Structure 1
Amino acid sequence: MSPTKTTASAAGTADEVSAPATARAGDRSGTVRKGLTLLELLANYPHGATAGQIVAESGYAFSTCYRLLTTLVDSGFAEYDTATKQYRLGLLVFHMGQKVATARGYSGTALPVLRRLTEATGESSLLAVLDGDRFLTVHTVDGPNHRITTDPGDRGALHTSSLGRALLAFSPQDTRDELVATIDLVPRTDRSRTDRDGLRRILEETRQRGWACQDQEHDEGMCAVAVPVMTPGGPLVAALALAAPVYRCDLAGLERHIPLLNDAAAQLASQLPQRP
């Protein structure tokens, strides 16, 4: 056998081996993405969801969902209740989330500040960060007379919420422009603003006065004000809000607490680590 033929044969063998290996790598990548999608879907059902619900929402075949859910359960990322036949996130996810919260200062640093803010105002306080095209709630403290509808880990619309508007308004301009041009402006209530030019005007007003607001645009019967949490001369870290049901405190009432809200935001800005 000539050297040329040997080289060609070896090259052919390498090609034959590398192609299936690449395909297998692609398959693994797709499987991981699907598994992560199921984790996100389970997060929307904190009390559990059936396999049928997960299949309907994900659009994956039942066999695929069942296989992935079984893997998630076996690895501790999900749990299965044999009595209700429902899946839910496992404690391993909670453990990982607590690690992230501690590393970012949300637990030891942010929570005491939110508690003092709620004690001083009597209203619920919320802290959120920008997470892609949504806001991610990282901490909440309920007011003494009511409970808010957002929980830590919830992701919400940017255009209808005071938190989202504060995050949008004080983000770098290129980030703000891209999000305003691309986010889905779905109405949440009859009062929701869903036009992009109107949203741009709201954000400009927010930047000029230094705080954002919403009056029953995000949730029926709720109003809120929010301010950015920004390090001195540095980037946006988070947004801090006060929220209340309108039957006990209207928007004007919340606006009177903005000085306290700004003081709390300044405390957070000096203590929270900057996001990379």
Structure 2
Amino acid sequence: MATEKSGTVGKALGLLTLLGDYPEGATAGQIADAVGYPFSTAYRLLNTLVETGFAGYDRREKRYRLGLRIYQLGQKVAHHRGFEGAAVPILQRLTDLTGESSILAVLDDDRFLTVHKVDGPQFRTTTDPGDRGPLHTSALGKVLLACTDPATREHLLETIELTPRTEHSITDRAELRRQIDQVRRRGWAGQQEENDIGMAAVAVPVLSASDRLVAAVALAAPIFRADQEALQAHLPDLRRAAATLALELPLRA
């Protein structure tokens, strides 16, 4: 039994390694042919990887790609080793300009995944690269929810759990829909003490040239320094940073 499990793990890791060679994704048949496994074996392993978040599956194209769980683990390692990606200099300039913490995040299933962050000069944010957080309580999450494709947005609005983090968190689904519609109209989201007591944030989407969602970028501050209304004064700077990030970040599948 131990040998069988070891062999299965080895095969799954082999599929992950191979998926890294297909940035545009590959079908189950292509993967099976490339690794020399029976189609049924490759299909079963791929679906296990999808279920655990290590691979993603595009139903329209019927292609598998590396999943965000791989990215999450990589970010954890990179963060602890002091790695700074291409986005960090842009966030650093934003923080230098505004004096507030900046955070970059992407949509990861029904959560947001922190990619990079730069702390402000006087306090440390409550999220680190690799952390995942709720969509309904955060400015980043609201922007990602509002600006994702319509099918995904509707699915998330119907299914995400509205567990409160503070007494100010949204717990009513109709109110969440109202706020998400508002975010779509005005192009930014805010929150004050909805995610953490004493903290406020504003966020804008990072969009590709074709208006496809890439990520979200936010400014966060303790409310004794800047509440949500005060942070809104930095929206022009935040939008300029988002436009620059759109040129630097790869378009995710």
TM superposition score normalised by structure 1: 0.63
1:275 paired with 2:252, answer: yes
**SS of aligned partner of 1:129:** strand
Q: Distance in 2 between matches of 1:133 and 1:95?
A: 15
Superposed displacement of residue 248, structure 1: 1.0
Equivalent of residue 113 in structure 2, options 128, 136, 143: 136
Please list, as runs of the form range in 1=range in 2, the aligned pairs for 1:39-54 lying within 5 A after superposition: none
Instruction: List aligned pairs for 1:1-276, cutoff 5 A.
Output: 28=5, 97=74, 107-276=84-253
Quick one: distance in 2 between partners of 1:240 and 1:202?
A: 18
Q: Is the alpha carbon distance of 1:97 and 1:194 closer, same or farther for their aligned partners in structure 2, counting shifts above 3 Å? A: same
Q: Secondary structure at the match of 1:242?
A: strand
Q: How many residues align?
A: 188
Q: What SS does the aligned partner of 1:112 have?
A: helix
Seen in structure 2, the aligned counterparts of structure 1 residues 227 and 100 have a Cα distance that, compared at 3 Å, is farther
Determine what percentage of the aligned residue pairs are the same residue. 59
CA distance in 2, matches of 1:133, 1:28: 30
Letter of the aligned partner of 2:103 in structure 1? Answer: L
C-alpha contact 2:165 2:194 (8 A) present in aligned 1: yes
CA distance in 1, matches of 2:5, 2:166: 41
| Regions of 4+ moved over 3 Å | 93-96, 98-102
Amino acid aligned to 2:242 = A
CA contact (8 A) 2:102 2:220 kept: yes
Question: Alpha-carbon deviation of 1:28?
Answer: 4.0
Contact 2:169 2:195 in 1 (8 A): yes
Q: Distance in 2 between matches of 1:138 and 1:100?
A: 12
Gaps of 5+ in 1: 1-23, 33-92
Report if aligned partners of 2:76, 2:129 keep a CA contact under 8 Å in 1.
no
> Are residues 98 and 252 of structure 1, via their aligned partners in 2, closer, same or farther at CA, if it must alter by over 3 Å?
closer
Q: Which amino acid aligns with 1:243?
A: A
Q: State the distance in 2 between where 1:212 and 1:101 align.
A: 29
Higher helix share: 1
In 1, distance between residues paired with 2:231 and 2:126?
17
- One-letter amino acid matched to 1:180: L
Task: Write out per-residue CA displacement over residues 216-270 of structure 1, whole angstroms, 9 at most, x where no aligned residue.
Answer: 0000000000000001114100000000000111111100000000000000001
CA distance in 1, matches of 2:246, 2:181: 22
C-alpha distance 94-198 of structure 1, shift in aligned 2 (>3 A)? closer
In structure 2, what is the Cα distance between the partners aligned to 1:160 and 1:95?
21
Q: Could you tell me which residue of structure 2 aligns to residue 3 of structure 1?
A: none
> What is the rounded CA distance, in whole Å, between the counterparts of 1:125 and 1:165 in structure 2?
16
Q: TM-score, normalised by structure 2?
A: 0.69
